[in-house]
Structure 1
Amino acid sequence: MDSASYPDPSRRLLITGATILAVLMVTLDGTIAVIALPHIQSALGASQDQIAWVLTSYLLAGAIATPLAGWLADHFGRVRVMALSVVGFTLSSVACGLAPTLEFLVFARVVQGFSGASLVPLSQVLLLDINPPEKQGPAIAAFGMGTLLGPMMGPILGGWLTEYVSWRSIFLVNAPVGVIAFLGLMIFAREVHLSRASPFDARGFAFVSIAIAAFQLMLDRGQMLDWFDSTEICIEATVAGLFAYIAVVHMLTARDPFIKPVIFKDRNFLLGTVLSAVTGIFLTGVIPIMTSMMQQLLGYPVLLAGLISTPRAIGNLLTIMVVGRLVSVIDARYLIFVGMALLVGSLSLLSSMSLEVSQARMGFVTFLQGCGSGLLFLPLTMIVFSTLPREHRNEGSTIFTLVRNLSGAAGISLIQAATIRDQAQVQSHLVERVRADNPVIAWSMPDFDVTNVPGVQTIMGEIGRQAAMVAYVNSYRAILILAVLAAPLALLMRKGSRGPEPIPAMHGE
């Protein structure tokens, strides 16, 4: 395709700006509400269990709607779907900010999640599509920074707005951003509708949606309800497993299934999706337990924990900017492998830490994580879509995004649950050995007396700290093994072209 077929540089820039604003708005809302939950709970008179639905409803609706984005884009046009999604997200954000009751707020959050689900997967394909191959690296780098800044800014902006304005302003702030993004897409992006004859597979969509909904509910409520000791969690796990099986059987046997199995015949897409899922588990899952370890175990104040986490964002931004140019001259598979190696290095440092770990070392670990994830994101996206047939690109993008999101949610829940349970087991194991007839106790503390309450409390406190550190280290080691096993997948991919073949329907001329 010649360069004249692409939008001119100024129009590409404007489309890119509108697209990134839309992505930033959606990713920001995934985290901005977390810090305001106590204020919302107080204002609307909700219980702890009820207020959790403000977050759960958003995540649940987004997970269910994400697989639908590809079909909608194929049948109604990608830009049109994105513009309508921005409208729905903006209006529901205003509704959240004006919500008089908790029930109305949860309903508005459902609409928010459903409306915003298509924006991230369709945006990355749109940016690939409007740029010639030599410009696609920087375009996806800009998209990567947009997806990074949202979650990073969410707690900071949410805390400031909640403290100095109102909790309602965390939702109302989306209104001007949404208006600008909508106008940018409608004015500067054009498309020629690509008609496809395939009908909507309602049964396939229902099977996939039920499986995803049950799985997301299980993850969101598992820790609160003590996982499989809860009847609700057992039911949700059973429903998720059963309908996932039915969805796979339907996909393989139906004439025109909702998810086309042919898409998984592309080796780069299959391996890239698996690699994205694995990295989502340990990359998304490690950050919360690192933050918890710094604040609760190492005693870092919130501000210090935030400062130590800053190198992660710096490393991510630096590598994303650099790799945008490197991806056109260096094989993407090697960049992905180097990114995995950096993440393995950070996990190796984490798995050898003790309670005496220095702040400098923690900062270096977060910097390595940022550099590793920055090297992974763009090359992985480029190589996956470089070999994927044009007719499957919308669907492929939604599956790629859905798998990454679900694996990230699973990583957070499973790693936190494993750490908590491991800590309890280690602590129980250590407590059993605190007795007067233990030679180690007799040697190290000859005056030990079980009737000395302050002395016993001091020992139990130290045991708790040591048990927590052992649990964190064990979790890091398990994730390290997973990362080492996943790294070679990058080298099994086929070498991609300089960029995916563009779809002529989506550019702005």
Structure 2
Amino acid sequence: MAVMLAVVMQVLDLTIVNVALTYMRGSLQANSDQITWVLTSYMVANVIILPLTGLLVERYGQRNIMLWSVAGFVISSALCGQSHSLVEVVLWRFLQGIFGASLAPVGQTIMLGAYPSNKRGQAMAILGMGIMLGPILGPTLGGYLTDTLSWRWVFYVNIPFGILAFLLMQTVPDGGKSDNPRPVDWIGFLSMALGLGSLQGVLSLGDQDDWFSSHTIIILTLCTILGMLFFVWRSLSIKHPVVNLRLLKDRNLSIGSMGIGIFGLALFGTMVILPIMLESLMHYEAFTAGLVMAPQGVGAMMAMMLAGRLLGRGVHPRNIVLVGIVFGAFGTYLTTLYNLDINMAWVIWPSFIRGIGFGLVTIPLFTLAFMTLKKSQQAEGSGIFNLMRTLGGSIGIAIVSTVTTQETQVAWNQMSHFINPFNPALRHYLSAAGMTQSPTTWQILGNVVVYNHADMRGMLDAFALVLYGFLVMVPLILFLKEPPTDPANAAPTAHVSE
């Protein structure tokens, strides 16, 4: 109960905020590109802290890390809820991401240690089902709270659950503390934080600052290159790096990590675009938007259960991943056919199909990535794999937001010249609508009618980018090695990572 409350609280926070973004954008006076910083700041903090989790546990123990993480998560959630500017909420979301990063991996480790070996699979399955509640309940609960109370309650809802988890965690046996902990490579950690943070800054600020015409973007780009190059060199040259990049010599782990990074772009990119489209262009209430997005989580949960059974019956994980890519690509292709007149079914069924694709890809891809690793390397390999998934999602959100903003402007420029008093089609349109050619009419047509169609075209281009992401995964999967014939080298239980 203690672990489930803490982990579900953290996973729920990844999805519950999505449907509130439109309301936050209005309240905090931010545009559609800027408001995604609320998501990316959280994920960047997760990426930075995840590699330190094992080292922190060795020093302070599992229970202490969980207690600090839960307490910090609750406090930062309360601070997010009382924020009155975009800078404030992004800062507190970053802090929330720092404290939330360790909850899932340490919680999974506690679960593994609390059960005998013959019941660990059952324990992980229960935890996995709880984790899957995030994408199912998150949009619906977030929409309900936003509609009935305000967007601030998507953060305040963490407080009672966090307090209960903190109290229950007092009874959890401690473990994981080492008498001789590994040294922390703080130089490597700081260079990684500089590189990843600067990269996120480039992607998030580039569009509004006109990219390399801005001195800020140039400086951030230089910091990204220098920070990441130094981080890679440092990781390959010392005995105990923050992230053991030497493991990427294993082809399956390196290709699998690339695949899960692209998968993160598809997953989180879609979950950013869809609620903004539903609420801004389709004029759905937040609760309704959450309901029509929930089938994606249902499809993912069903597909994960099916994938686990197929793997247990000896079906090659590569085949399952390829089928998942087909489902994901088809569901995303349907979204590229959207227009402003689609009904609710056009949102529900593509989301459900895409969710099936997400579920069929996740567990088998984890299995493929770890097939050729030794057992002694699996813990560090899991860190790289999860790091790439979160990093891919963070970069994906920034890229998708930039594409949407840029292509919306391009579409507006292309379509606005049709608003011309000498266009006979426009005269017929105005006559049928009972409107006259006045300054107010031109303003309405330009700022409402044309902009809405342009915004839809920008989002369709972003959906197309997600579709290409699925297709790029196909050749990567085909390059993965066959599973070893020795069962001793089998991959770990997939639920541990998920």
**TM-score strictly above 0.5:** yes
2:66 is aligned with 1:86: yes
2:273 is aligned with 1:289: yes
Q: Which among 445, 449, 452 is matched to residue 462 of structure 1? A: 449
Partner of 1:240: helix, strand, or coil? helix
Match of 1:14 in 2: none
- Cα deviation, 1:403-460, whole Å, max 9, x if unaligned, reads 2112112111211121111111111122234435567668988999995335534543
Q: Which among 357, 375, 398 is matched to residue 360 of structure 2? A: 375
Q: Which among 141, 149, 161 is matched to residue 163 of structure 1? A: 149
Q: Is the 8 A contact 1:285 1:411 kept in 2?
A: yes
Aligned amino acid, residue 469 of structure 2: L
Match of 2:197 in 1: 213
Q: Which among 302, 319, 331 is matched to residue 346 of structure 1? A: 331
Match of 1:264 in 2: 248
- Cα deviation, 1:349-399, whole Å, max 9, x if unaligned, reads 112223332321221011012111111222222332343223332222222
Partner of 2:312: helix, strand, or coil? coil
Aligned amino acid, residue 299 of structure 1: H
Aligned amino acid, residue 84 of structure 1: N
Indicate how the Cα distance of structure 1 residues 130 and 386 shifts in structure 2: closer, same or farther if over 3 A, else same.
Answer: farther
Once residues 418 and 89 of structure 2 are traced to their aligned partners in structure 1, the CA distance between those partners, rounded to angstroms, is 52
Once residues 309 and 302 of structure 1 are traced to their aligned partners in structure 2, the CA distance between those partners, rounded to angstroms, is 11
Match of 2:370 in 1: 385
Gap runs ≥5 in structure 1: 1-16
Match of 1:276 in 2: 260
Q: Report the alpha carbon displacement of residue 120 of structure 1 after superposing the two structures with TM.
A: 2.6
Once the two structures are overlaid, the 10-residue window that deviates more, 413-422 or 225-234, is 225-234
Match of 1:422 in 2: 407
Once residues 355 and 37 of structure 1 are traced to their aligned partners in structure 2, the CA distance between those partners, rounded to angstroms, is 18
Partner of 1:361: helix, strand, or coil? helix
Q: Is the 8 A contact 2:320 2:361 kept in 1?
A: yes
Q: Which among 133, 144, 166 is matched to residue 149 of structure 1? A: 133
2:183 is aligned with 1:183: no
Indicate how the Cα distance of structure 1 residues 425 and 191 shifts in structure 2: closer, same or farther if over 3 A, else same.
Answer: closer
Partner of 1:475: helix, strand, or coil? helix
Once residues 384 and 194 of structure 1 are traced to their aligned partners in structure 2, the CA distance between those partners, rounded to angstroms, is 32
- Cα deviation, 1:97-133, whole Å, max 9, x if unaligned, reads 7779979999987665434323334555776788999
Match of 2:459 in 1: 472
Match of 2:469 in 1: 482
Indicate how the Cα distance of structure 1 residues 110 and 357 shifts in structure 2: closer, same or farther if over 3 A, else same.
Answer: closer
Question: Relative contact order (C-alpha < 8 Å, sep 6+): which is higher?
Answer: 1
Q: Which among 485, 500, 504 is matched to residue 491 of structure 2? A: 500
Structure 1 segment 295-444 matched on structure 2, within 5 A:
295-329=279-313, 330-435=315-420
Once the two structures are overlaid, the 10-residue window that deviates more, 213-222 or 276-285, is 213-222
Q: Is the 8 A contact 1:208 1:244 kept in 2?
A: yes
Structure 1 segment 170-249 matched on structure 2, within 5 A:
170-173=157-160, 174-181=162-169, 183-184=171-172, 186=174, 199-218=183-202, 231-249=215-233
Structure 1 segment 120-159 matched on structure 2, within 5 A:
120-123=104-107, 141-150=125-134, 152-154=136-138
Once the two structures are overlaid, the 10-residue window that deviates more, 272-281 or 85-94, is 85-94
Match of 1:9 in 2: none
Aligned amino acid, residue 305 of structure 2: M
2:5 is aligned with 1:21: yes
Partner of 2:190: helix, strand, or coil? helix
Partner of 1:200: helix, strand, or coil? coil
Q: Report the alpha carbon displacement of residue 343 of structure 1 after superposing the two structures with TM.
A: 0.6
Q: Is the 8 A contact 1:121 1:398 kept in 2?
A: no
Indicate how the Cα distance of structure 1 residues 424 and 175 shifts in structure 2: closer, same or farther if over 3 A, else same.
Answer: same
Once the two structures are overlaid, the 10-residue window that deviates more, 387-396 or 119-128, is 119-128
Partner of 1:427: helix, strand, or coil? helix
Aligned amino acid, residue 248 of structure 2: F
Q: Report the alpha carbon displacement of residue 284 of structure 1 after superposing the two structures with TM.
A: 0.7
Once residues 485 and 106 of structure 1 are traced to their aligned partners in structure 2, the CA distance between those partners, rounded to angstroms, is 32
Aligned amino acid, residue 205 of structure 1: F
Aligned amino acid, residue 483 of structure 1: F
How many pairs align? Answer: 475
Once residues 348 and 45 of structure 2 are traced to their aligned partners in structure 1, the CA distance between those partners, rounded to angstroms, is 36
Match of 2:101 in 1: 117
- Cα deviation, 1:268-303, whole Å, max 9, x if unaligned, reads 211111111001012110122122122222233333
Once residues 327 and 38 of structure 2 are traced to their aligned partners in structure 1, the CA distance between those partners, rounded to angstroms, is 36
TM-score, normalised relative to structure 1 = 0.77
Once residues 106 and 436 of structure 1 are traced to their aligned partners in structure 2, the CA distance between those partners, rounded to angstroms, is 45
Indicate how the Cα distance of structure 1 residues 30 and 265 shifts in structure 2: closer, same or farther if over 3 A, else same.
Answer: same
Aligned amino acid, residue 456 of structure 1: W
Once the two structures are overlaid, the 10-residue window that deviates more, 426-435 or 342-351, is 426-435
Partner of 1:327: helix, strand, or coil? helix
Q: Report the alpha carbon displacement of residue 491 of structure 1 after superposing the two structures with TM.
A: 3.2
Aligned amino acid, residue 500 of structure 1: A
Q: Report the alpha carbon displacement of residue 216 of structure 1 after superposing the two structures with TM.
A: 3.9
Q: Is the 8 A contact 2:421 2:437 kept in 1?
A: no
Identity %: 27
Indicate how the Cα distance of structure 1 residues 451 and 440 shifts in structure 2: closer, same or farther if over 3 A, else same.
Answer: closer
TM-score, normalised relative to structure 2 = 0.78
Once the two structures are overlaid, the 10-residue window that deviates more, 85-94 or 282-291, is 85-94
Q: Report the alpha carbon displacement of residue 346 of structure 1 after superposing the two structures with TM.
A: 0.9
Once residues 309 and 179 of structure 2 are traced to their aligned partners in structure 1, the CA distance between those partners, rounded to angstroms, is 32
Q: Report the alpha carbon displacement of residue 347 of structure 1 after superposing the two structures with TM.
A: 1.4
